[in-house]
Amino acid sequence: MDDKQLWKSSKKPSSDNKSKFVFSNAQIADTFIEINNIGLRIVLVLHLLISVSLFWNVEYWLGLLVFIVGIFIIYITSSTFVFLAEIYRHLKEINNKTKHPDKD
């Protein structure tokens, strides 16, 4: 084989040039939501342990206060992240509808 034949046989088709790791918005959002749910469970367990420790070892009112305020903050942040992930999931559909309003 000469050099030209080797070069032609080693070339990949143009369709192989696309990345195999292309993720859709829905896949990225679903992964983010799953990671957020796992992280939320870990944070809730740690928060509960800290609150119980404060309840029994320091002052009961401090443990209750930390528990109530912490649950509120965790709920707000988790809800915000999931809400943003849902927006990101449907971002492509929203963009298509704004670019092509005639098509549904």
What is the pLDDT, as a whole number, of residue 45?
A: 93
pLDDT tens across 18-43, in order? 555 556 767 777 888 888 889 889 99
Query: Which residue range forms the structural domain that includes residue 31?
Result: 25-98
Number of structural domains (the chain) is 1
Angle at the Cα of 20 from the Cα atoms of 16 and 25, rounded to 5 degrees: 130
One digit per residue, the tens of pLDDT, for the chain of length 104 reads 555 555 555 555 555 545 555 567 677 778 888 888 898 899 999 999 999 998 899 888 998 999 999 999 988 988 888 888 878 777 767 776 777 776 65
36 occurs within a structural domain:
yes
Query: What token pair was written down for 35?
Result: 């990671």
Rounded Cα distance between 79 and 60, Å, is: 28
18 occurs within a structural domain:
no
38 occurs within a structural domain:
yes
10 occurs within a structural domain:
no
Angle at the Cα of 60 from the Cα atoms of 59 and 62, rounded to 5 degrees: 65
Under 8 Å between Cβ of 31 and 81: no
Under 8 Å between Cβ of 92 and 27: no
